[in-house]
Amino acid sequence: MLIEMPRHTEIFGSVKIHELQRVLKIDSGGFENPRAKDISFEEIKNVLRHFAIIIPVKNEKIHLLDGVLRAIPFDCSVIVVSNSGRETPDAYKMEQEVVKNLHDLTQQEMLIIHQKDPELGFAFYDAGYDHLLDKDGLVRDGKAEGMIIGMLLAKSLGKDFIGFTDADNYIPGSVREDVIDYAAGFCMSESPYSMVRLHWRYKPKVVEDKLYFKKWGRVSETTNKYLNLLISTHTGFETRVVVTGNAGEHALTTKLTDLLSYSTGYSIEPYHFVYLFDRFGVGAETITNTDADAANAGIEIFQIETLNPHIHEEKGEEHVNSMMLGSLQTVYHSKLCIDYVKSKVLEELGDILEWEKPKENIIMPPIREIDAHKFVKMLESNAETFARFERGAIE
Ligand code: GDD
Ligand code: MG
C-alpha cells in the first residue's frame, strides 16, 4: 500500500494524533518518496495473521452480513456478536448458518455468539464484571456492549490487533480495504498502544434521484468540532486534527483495548478520545503502572481516509439524534470541558435536550482483569448460542 505521510501530528500530553492520511494506492509497487510511505503486502499480511475483526450486528439484512463476512481477509479471525431478534423467524439462526456455511467453504476461523445468551451474562457476572449487565442478568442492548464481548473473544484467541466493522455495509470491497487500512496503520505505528480510525472519503446519498457524494455526516462533523475544542481550550492553539470522532470502523492494539474504559452504545467511539484526553492529555496524572507504561510509550492515533466510499443503511432521524446526544454527552462530562465548551454543547443540543442537562453515559471500566481464557471456556461448555469454527488445515 502507498499511503500519504501525515502532514502534522498534534501532541496532546502522551496522546499523538496524526492528521488525516489518504490512501494513494491500495496495491503499490514499492516506490518510496518523502510524501508517501510504501508498505509491502508481506508486512500487511504479518499484521493480518494476528488480527481479529469483530462484526457487531443487530437485525441487518442477511445479504449484507454475508457480503461483509466474505470480504474480510482470510488471515484474520472473524468474530460476530449478534443482538438480532430470536423470535420466529430466528434471525440469529440465519446468521449462524451463514457463518457456518462460509467456514465450511473457506476454513477461515470464525466465532459467533448472541449478546443475550444467559450464559454470557453469567460469564461476565462470574468474572466480577457486571458493568454491562441489565437487572435480568443479561447483557444490555448496545453496540459497545457487543464490541466488549467481541474483544474478550479476540483476547482468548491471543490476537494482538482488534478491529471493528459494521454489518450493514453494501460494498464488500470497502470492508476488505478497511481491514487493509487498519493493518497499514499498525505497520506505521511506533507505539504498542495505537489505534487506527477510518474516515470515509464519501458517504453517498440519493438527493433528487441522483447519487450525491457527501463528505461529512451530520453527527461526525459536530462531534469532531467539540473534541477539537477540548484540545484547543487547553493548548491555547486552535486545531482541527480530529476528523474521526465517531469512526465506527476502527481498530486497536490489544494492549490499548486493555487500557481503555468504554462508553455505552454508540458513544463508544467519541469516548475513546475523551478517555485518552482525560487520562493522558495535557496535565493528566498517571495513576496505575499500566498507565505509566502507556504514557511513556505514547498513545498513537492514525486517521486514514479510505479510497472506497461507504454505503450503509439509513436508520432515521431519531437514531441520528440519539447518536449526537451520546457523543456530546461524552464531551460535556470530560474533565477537560470548561464552562465555555459546556455552554456551546448545550446550545448545540438545544432541540434534542429540551432544557434537560446532558446525562453522564454509562462507562464500563477496562476489561484487562477478566481472564479471557476462563471466560471463553465457560462459554464453550455452557453457552448454547456460542459457536467456534476453527481454521482448517490448509496445504
Ligand atoms: N451486537 C450488537 N448489539 N450490534 C449492534 C447493536 C447492538 O445492540 N446495535 C447496533 N448494532 C450493529 C448494527 O447492526 C451495525 O452492524 C453496527 O452495529 C452499527 O450500527 P448502525 O445502527 O448501522 O449505526 P450507524 O451506521 O448509524 O453508525 C455507525 O457509524 C457511526 C459513524 O459513522 C456506528 O458504527 C457508529 O458507532 C458510528 O459512530
Ligand atoms: Mg450503519
pLDDT digits (tens, 9 = 90+) for 173-208: 999 999 999 999 999 999 999 999 999 988 888 888
- Give the burial class of 185: count Cβ atoms within 10 A of its Cβ; 0-12 exposed, 13-18 middle, 19 or more buried: buried
Residue 324 has pLDDT above 80, yes or no: yes
Query: What is the reported pLDDT for 314?
Result: 86
Average pLDDT (288-306) is 93
Average pLDDT (104-132) is 98
- The larger pLDDT score, comparing residue 394 to residue 163, is at 163
Residue 346 has pLDDT above 70, yes or no: yes
Where is average pLDDT lowest: 33-42, 148-157, 268-277, 285-294? 285-294
As given in the structure block, the three cell numbers for residue 310 are 461507504
150 lines ligand 1 (CB under 6 A): no
Mutate to test the pocket of ligand 1, among 60, 112, 143 (most ligand atoms within 8 A of CB): 143
In the structure, what pLDDT confidence band is assigned to residue 132 with cuts at 50, 70 and 90? very high
For ligand 1, atom 29, name the residue with the nearest CA.
Answer: 248
First-to-last alpha carbon distance for the chain, in angstroms, is 27
Percent of the chain residues past pLDDT 90, beyond the cut: 87
- According to DSSP, the residues that pair with 375 across neighbouring strands are none
Residue 394 has pLDDT above 80, yes or no: no
Rounded distance, CA 335 to CA 20, Å? 26
Average pLDDT (87-105) is 97
In the structure, what pLDDT confidence band is assigned to residue 209 with cuts at 50, 70 and 90? confident
In the structure, what pLDDT confidence band is assigned to residue 395 with cuts at 50, 70 and 90? low
315 lines ligand 1 (CB under 6 A): yes
Q: What is the mean pLDDT of the chain?
A: 95
What is the number of other CB atoms lying within 10 angstroms of the CB of residue 210?
Answer: 8
Radius of gyration of the chain (CA): 20
57 lines ligand 1 (CB under 6 A): yes
pLDDT tens-digit series, residues 228-269: 999 999 999 999 999 999 999 999 999 999 999 999 999 999
- Sequence-distant (6+) residues with CB within 8 A of 60 are 84, 167, 168, 313
For ligand 1, atom 38, name the residue with the nearest CA.
Answer: 248
166 lines ligand 1 (CB under 6 A): yes
Distance in Å, CA 58 to ligand 1 centroid: 8
25 lines ligand 1 (CB under 6 A): no
pLDDT tens-digit series, residues 348-383: 998 777 767 899 999 999 999 999 999 999 999 999
Where is average pLDDT lowest: 56-60, 124-128, 350-354? 350-354
95 lines ligand 1 (CB under 6 A): no
In the structure, what pLDDT confidence band is assigned to residue 285 with cuts at 50, 70 and 90? confident
- Mutual angle of helices 143-156 and 372-382, in 10-degree steps: 100
For ligand 1, atom 34, name the residue with the nearest CA.
Answer: 248
Query: What is the reported pLDDT for 203?
Result: 86
